[in-house]
Amino acid sequence: FNHDWNKPDEEMVIYLNLTRKIPFIPTRMEYSTHGIVLVVDVSTSMSLEEIQYGIGIIKSRFNIIKIITHALQIYEIIEGDNLTYLKAGGDTSYREVFDYIVKHHPTDWIIHITDGVCLEPEFLPKEIENNYIFAFTSNSPIQRWLKYKHVFL
């Protein structure tokens, strides 16, 4: 992290905004060089309350350029932050999401709302490892995902 508090780097600012606990002031950050791509796990293991809570936190703190919903595959890709309908259910895989992000958003900041209950693939691709943050809604994600950048919502 850059420890110059007059010019903190974006990674530190993102972590500070994700880890801020109640009470939080809903202020959206505008990024001139990086937008936030929000990935939302809508598989069967995620409750509607977890999904809504996670989306609410991220929308209140960041400028979202795209929302991607997924379970075993990608369900929807929405430009902007106007998510009005959730198709949900099924098993979980991050493989298609990771492939899409590597191809279309390799330099954008990615925040992935998930419970972390996913067995495949076995790793986060190196191309996006530095700008990908898991935002866990559960306290018991699968261990392999804990070695990457993450926060618990």
Give the pLDDT confidence of 81-100 residue by residue, as tens digits: 888 777 778 899 999 999 99
Owner of token pair 């009470």: 23
Using pLDDT thresholds of 50, 70 and 90, give the confidence band for residue 35: confident
* Range of lowest pLDDT (84-88, 124-128, 136-140): 84-88
Q: What is the pLDDT of residue 84?
A: 75
Using pLDDT thresholds of 50, 70 and 90, give the confidence band for residue 31: very low
Using pLDDT thresholds of 50, 70 and 90, give the confidence band for residue 2: very low
- The pTM (predicted TM-score) of the whole model is 0.81
Distance of CA 102 to the CA centre of its chain: 14
* Range of lowest pLDDT (31-40, 56-65, 68-77): 31-40
Mean pLDDT of 28-37: 58
DSSP letter, residue 29: B
- The Cα 2–Cα 57 span in angstroms is 25
Q: In whole numbers, what is the pLDDT of the chain averaged over residues?
A: 81
126 and 104 in contact (C-beta within 8 Å)? no
- Neighbour count for residue 70 (Cβ, 10 Å): 24
